[in-house]
Amino acid sequence: MDMHMNMTSGAHAGMMMVPFFHFAGGDFLLFEAWKPTSGGAIGGACVGIFFFAMFERLVHAFSPALLLYLAPRRPRSAIESLRDHTSSPDHSSKASDMSMKEEGRLPPRTTPLFVFSVDVPRGIVHGFQRLLGFILMLVAMTFHAGYILSIIFGLTLGEILFGRIAYRVVKDVGYQNTT
């Protein structure tokens, strides 16, 4: 029994997380098999994290362009009815909505219809963006200062290189990014 407790406590002692910022090796990086210990392995991991953070910014920059590419797949009638109802300068629309409710009718739809070929890819891209963000968060939670600096520099350079793409799409077309 004493031997079992020593083996158990020894196994857990090797898996303790360092609760402060550090540069030492030996942290698990996302998976048990990824445990850089040498200086070269840590440097390689930092370079990989740097490029991964830049890739996250690239995906973020191209998501508005993807949504604009998918927009023509929406039925024309649904888009026009939304535009007509929401952009009318008529202030009597509130009164007409009230009269419709009194008559038992519903006011016109103000949200777009669900279109499988548009909304499913949009949801997948959003989920992929969140996945990339969570992976970067898990890397930062190792408290390894080199990894955290790699994330910060990768996100910064990625935004410098790719941020203007998203800005240009938003500015030219008037797309409202909600993420």
- pLDDT number for residue 174: 59
- Given a cut of 60, whether residue 19 has pLDDT beyond it is yes
Say if residues 178 and 76 touch (Cβ distance below 8 Å).
no
SS3 annotation, 104-135: CCCCCCCCCCCCHHHHHHHHHHHHHHHHHHHH
75: Cβ contacts below 8 Å, ≥ 6 apart: 113, 115
- pLDDT number for residue 95: 57
Mean pLDDT estimate for the chain: 79
Say if residues 136 and 151 touch (Cβ distance below 8 Å).
yes
Say if residues 29 and 136 touch (Cβ distance below 8 Å).
no
Tell which wins on pLDDT, 12 or 173: 173
pLDDT band at residue 173 using 50, 70 and 90 as cut-offs? low
- Given a cut of 50, whether residue 150 has pLDDT beyond it is yes
In this prediction, residues 29-44 reach a mean pLDDT of 94
Q: Which of 59, 12, 52 is CA-nearest to residue 137? A: 52
Q: Is 4 within the bounds of a domain?
A: no
Provide the token pair at 35.
């445990």
- pLDDT number for residue 179: 47
Q: In terms of residue numbers, what domain contains 131?
A: 38-72+115-179
- Given a cut of 60, whether residue 134 has pLDDT beyond it is yes
pLDDT band at residue 17 using 50, 70 and 90 as cut-offs? confident
Q: Is 33 within the bounds of a domain?
A: no
CA distance 175 to 65: 9
- pLDDT number for residue 99: 64
93: Cβ contacts below 8 Å, ≥ 6 apart: 85
Q: Which of 61, 28, 74 is CA-nearest to residue 132? A: 61
Q: Is 152 within the bounds of a domain?
A: yes
Q: Is 138 within the bounds of a domain?
A: yes
pLDDT band at residue 69 using 50, 70 and 90 as cut-offs? confident
Q: Is 140 within the bounds of a domain?
A: yes
Does the pTM surpass 0.85? The reply is no
Give the count of domains, the chain: 1
